[in-house]
């Protein structure tokens, strides 16, 4: 069985214990609050970030790890481990440069690596890593593992209900015209991912109508046989999480519902109070 190293970035939303048990190499993005810089996950947990963000969200921003940090990760794996090959899975290449930096670092160090664009981040990214590790433990060939992960990346869904249209507009992730129009008309938006890019998915005049539209959309997209779990991602607003859990459970009683903090790199650009809902197809459906 091939000895595989696993590499990702701090948008992965994996627990500290899981990362340690599986020796996952994580390149931290930078979180910048009030001109002070923190390494995501290393120096500031998701929960700690949102507590600070609650008090000062006007100048919050993020930046990707420098390529030198990726080079160090690859050199350490190459020179100080028994790993034969690596699989690196990173946040959407259309939102951050971690994928490109990781790819360049693997080329520079000459360590054989399959670098994968997850086309998203946070919970769906974590499920791709978990699926890959489980497949490796079951003895699947590395090419098959990569193939399944790539299929997961093309079938996932992740929606964000932004709390702040101003944050969305400032981020540049959604066109200024769309966010400005939504502000003028007092529209509620649901944004999501299309081949890794942030796009407008749904809009409504009220939060109640948007929630109904979202539930209808989930009913259309979710295959009960292939989706085993839905995740509600949040920025600390647990009352909203409970409300969504009840709504989803009433419609999808056979599907497990979990919740976790939204990766701060997303929360910074959508505002405190944002709720995100995501799912991926069970990897076994691709075997």
Q: CA-CA-CA-CA torsion for 162, 167, 172, 174, nearest 10 degrees?
A: 20
8 Å CB contact between 162 and 265: no
Per-residue pLDDT reduced to its tens digit, 157-200: 999 998 877 767 666 655 554 554 555 456 788 988 999 988 88
- Segments in the chain forming alpha helices (H): 16-21, 46-55, 67-80, 98-109, 122-137, 142-155, 165-171, 176-185, 207-221, 238-251, 264-270
Distance CA 251, CA 224 (A): 11
pTM: 0.92
122-137 vs 142-155: helix crossing angle, rounded to 10? 160
Q: Residue 253: which residues within 8 A CB-CB, separation 6 or more?
A: none
Q: Give the residue-averaged pLDDT of 217-236.
A: 90
Distance CA 99, CA 103 (A): 6
Q: Give the residue-averaged pLDDT of 85-114.
A: 97
8 Å CB contact between 13 and 261: yes
177: Cα within 13 Å, side-chain hemisphere: 0
Model confidence band, residue 62 (pLDDT cutoffs 50, 70, 90): confident
Supply φ then ψ for residue 210, to 5 degrees: -65, -40
- Lowest-pLDDT range of 117-131, 135-149, 222-236: 222-236
Q: Give the residue-averaged pLDDT of 243-253.
A: 95
| Token pair 């993020």 in the structure block, residue | 62
Residue ranges and CATH numbers for the domains of the chain are 4-155 (3.40.50.10170), 157-286 (3.30.1180.10)
Token output for 23: 């020796």
Distance CA 281, CA 233 (A): 17
Token output for 60: 């919050």
């Amino acid at each position: 069985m091939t000895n595989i190293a696993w590499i990702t970035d701090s948008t992965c939303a994996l627990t500290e214990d899981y990362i340690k048990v599986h020796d996952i190499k994580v390149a931290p993005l930078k979180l910048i609050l009030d001109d002070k810089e923190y390494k995501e996950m290393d120096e500031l947990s998701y929960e700690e970030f949102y507590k600070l963000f609650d008090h000062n969200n006007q100048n919050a921003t993020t930046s990707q790890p420098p390529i030198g940090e990726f080079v160090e990760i690859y050199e350490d794996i190459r020179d100080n481990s028994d790993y034969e090959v690596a699989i690196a899975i990173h946040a959407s290449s259309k939102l951050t440069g971690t994928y490109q930096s990781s790819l360049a670092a693997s080329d520079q160090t000459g360590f054989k690596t399959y670098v994968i664009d997850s086309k998203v981040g946070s919970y769906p990214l974590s499920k791709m890593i978990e699926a890959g590790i489980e497949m490796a433990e079951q003895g699947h060939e590395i090419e098959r593992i990569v193939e399944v992960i790539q299929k997961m990346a093309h079938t996932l869904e992740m929606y964000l209900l932004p709390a702040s249209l101003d944050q969305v507009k400032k981020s540049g992730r959604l066109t200024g015209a769309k966010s400005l129009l939504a502000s003028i008309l007092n529209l509620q938006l649901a944004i999501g991912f299309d081949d890794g890019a942030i796009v407008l998915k749904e809009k409504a005049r009220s939060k109640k109508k948007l929630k109904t539209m979202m539930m209808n959309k989930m009913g259309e997209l979710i295959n009960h046989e292939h989706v085993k779990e839905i995740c509600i991602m949040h920025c600390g607003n647990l009352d909203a999480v409970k409300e969504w859990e009840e709504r989803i459970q009433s419609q999808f009683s056979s599907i497990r519902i979990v919740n976790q903090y939204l990766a701060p790199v997303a929360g910074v650009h959508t505002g405190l109070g944002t709720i995100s809902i995501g799912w991926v197809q069970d990897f076994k459906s691709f075997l």
